[in-house]
Structure 1
């Protein structure tokens, strides 16, 4: 029975990692596709390799945080922790699959946090925890990041592209400048892919580690390998849907615009990390792309697409939490 549960947990963790690759990891390369700096095939190869490397080499610390930073699982029976973590992974995964189908770039971090909160609320309803035991401060920071990260990304991208436009594009031959920035943009995209893999792999491996009892212990390398492999496969099989949305449908992108968006995103994420603030690469990059679009005038941005994306962001945590509550309740009854 235990062996079957572990195999099922691994399968669900792999499914979550596949979702991360299909939706979230696609963000790191979407602007390179939109600007024409890289083809879709090149993106799949480069992103798969770098996301996998980031996940395996640097993913263990964030995995530990996601595993026990929201719900005080050390206060619960290990059996309930296993069921709760499993329901969180599956609940978040199902929501991300739906979002990817509709080409909506949602935050996998917010999805798994929402699902873990759902598990915590279900445990509270069953009197295993009190409402005060859940780390509401983490949720407060995440809600704050919803507001701050896309705005900061948009402002930085707007300013960076405006400087490039007046300091470089208006003084030199545009085609030559865009050609140079094509290579600069590829470098920033590669950096973002590696960094994303090292951070967001925890959205799959954190709850998986919790379900299998690796709390307070070193996360086994094979867990990170599963996460990295799932992300790589997700990019290769379904990542094109979100790449198309972010890279092509929000605003027209050139190498200078794509570089501005990626540089602004990387800077914003780095600044937030230094403050210890949980932040969404998805929200930041989309905000940066919108900021670059606004630099070309309001008419340059497809506001109908932006509204759809914003609606999906607002729905992510409550939907993921709701699905996790239902799944956890069913598992407690039948498992």
Structure 2
């Protein structure tokens, strides 16, 4: 029964992650494709990333944070803590990072039940460094990317026809890079739901189930988030949006391959700030 409840909690967490995924917002906001198509592409990319590469961050959270073997009860407590905090924050309208939440829950349980000596300080320092550096990298990359592209266009683009060609090409590249970002967003975020239930049964099955849960979240409430980000909060032309997505995708993919749990939302916001500097 405990295992069933834990899996249900993991499904809720994965659904919540998907329902708050704003990755496709810049693509939809540029008007290159409709919100419905953007959400569908994002859902598929999220699920594939979760299933195929989710294990990279799973190993860090599930086995790298504390040195003791967690019991099923410990895992259940962690998932309850995560789910409860998600419900409270959603009810209050407070945006939170599930990445920060899962690391905090594991660290808190480990320190309380098994003592500070059970914590892997090296892993915690690596994760903290990733949280600090990833937004900075996003800002810097987006800033220089946008400046470089703007300078190039000023020198090469002449007349309306050239601008239309650049707009179409930028839109196509934006579709490619945003899909790439969603893939690695799924690969990085799914560990917040599966790192510990993958210790209970087959990890691939766990990632598949929760990857589908994440996709359902994107297809349901995620549509609202994408519309809000794309039409109300962020107004970017295709070139600026492309600079944002390249910086986010690059930062997130490198972090994922290094096994670092990162906040895609923080990197995205940082990149948007970068092009505005």
TM band (smaller chain)? 0.7 to 0.9
1:82-121 to structure 2, matched below 5 A, reads 82-99=72-89, 106-121=96-111
Q: Give the match's secondary structure for 2:66.
A: coil
Report if aligned partners of 1:156, 1:264 keep a CA contact under 8 Å in 2. yes
Query: Aligned residue for 2:28?
Result: 33
Task: Give a deviation string over 1:202-226, Cα, whole Å, max 9, x none.
Answer: 111112224x3x5xxxx34321111
Report if aligned partners of 1:246, 1:286 keep a CA contact under 8 Å in 2. no
Report if aligned partners of 1:33, 1:247 keep a CA contact under 8 Å in 2. yes
1:1-335 to structure 2, matched below 5 A, reads 4-23=1-20, 26-74=21-69, 81-99=71-89, 106-123=96-113, 129-169=114-154, 171-172=156-157, 173=160, 174-210=163-199, 212=200, 214=201, 219-272=202-255, 277-294=260-277
Q: CA deviation at 1:170?
A: 6.0
Q: CA deviation at 1:105?
A: 5.2
- The count of corresponding residues between Structure 1 and Structure 2 is 273
* Counterpart Cα distance in 1 of 2:43 and 2:253: 22
Task: Call closer, same or farther: CA 1:156–1:103 in 2, change over 3 Å.
Answer: farther
Report if aligned partners of 1:145, 1:279 keep a CA contact under 8 Å in 2. yes
Report if aligned partners of 1:34, 1:252 keep a CA contact under 8 Å in 2. yes
* Counterpart Cα distance in 2 of 1:53 and 1:225: 9
166-175 or 9-18, which deviates more: 166-175
Task: Give a deviation string over 1:248-296, Cα, whole Å, max 9, x none.
Answer: 45542111111100101122234445666543222212111121233xx
Q: CA deviation at 1:21?
A: 0.7
Task: Call closer, same or farther: CA 1:94–1:237 in 2, change over 3 Å.
Answer: farther
Query: Aligned residue for 1:323?
Result: none
Task: Give a deviation string over 1:289-330, Cα, whole Å, max 9, x none.
Answer: 121233xxxxxxxxxxxxxxxxxxxxxxxxxxxxxxxxxxxx
270-279 or 4-13, which deviates more: 270-279
Q: CA deviation at 1:115?
A: 1.4
Task: Call closer, same or farther: CA 1:244–1:293 in 2, change over 3 Å.
Answer: farther
Q: CA deviation at 1:242?
A: 3.5
When the two structures are superposed, what TM-score results if normalisation uses the length of structure 2? 0.87
Task: Call closer, same or farther: CA 1:291–1:186 in 2, change over 3 Å.
Answer: same
Task: Call closer, same or farther: CA 1:240–1:30 in 2, change over 3 Å.
Answer: same
Task: Call closer, same or farther: CA 1:159–1:105 in 2, change over 3 Å.
Answer: farther
Report if aligned partners of 2:57, 2:259 keep a CA contact under 8 Å in 1. no
Q: Give the match's secondary structure for 2:33.
A: coil
* Counterpart Cα distance in 1 of 2:30 and 2:88: 27
Q: CA deviation at 1:245?
A: 4.8
RMSD between aligned alpha carbons?
2.4
Report if aligned partners of 1:252, 1:293 keep a CA contact under 8 Å in 2. no
* Counterpart Cα distance in 1 of 2:205 and 2:261: 26
Report if aligned partners of 2:44, 2:215 keep a CA contact under 8 Å in 1. yes
